[in-house]
Amino acid sequence: MGILNFWQNCLFERLNKINPANPKNMSKPFINKIKEYNWPGNVRELQNVMERAYYLAEGSIITKEYLPENMSISDNPKNGKMILCP
């Protein structure tokens, strides 16, 4: 398990423990967006994004629509990899 997966799961488990009456799950597209992002702001930024999506999600599934708008993907012509635009 990569460090991103570790932190993602730790943060998510903590949120479900804080809110046991309304546990939530992450959709695959949500998880993929989290993994694709560069995370220039470190673990604190990941925590803020995860908490924001968790509390904004109205149902039990957190979808990519609850991620900030600045996490949209575009092609990076320099190295052929995907990057996220601010």
> What is the tens place of the pLDDT at every residue in 14-71?
999 999 999 999 999 999 998 888 888 778 888 899 999 999 999 999 999 999 988 7
- Tokens at residue 82, please? 């995907």
> What is the reported pTM?
0.76
- What is the mean pLDDT of the segment spanning 4-20? 89
Domains of the chain: 3-85 (1.10.8.60)
| Confidence at residue 1, expressed as pLDDT on a 0 to 100 scale | 53
SS3 of residue 84 by DSSP: strand
| Residue pair 59/26 in contact by the 8 Å Cβ criterion | no
**pLDDT range class, residue 74, cuts 50, 70, 90:** very low
Residue with the bigger pLDDT between 74 and 9: it is 9
Phi (first) and psi of residue 41, to 5 degrees: -95, 10
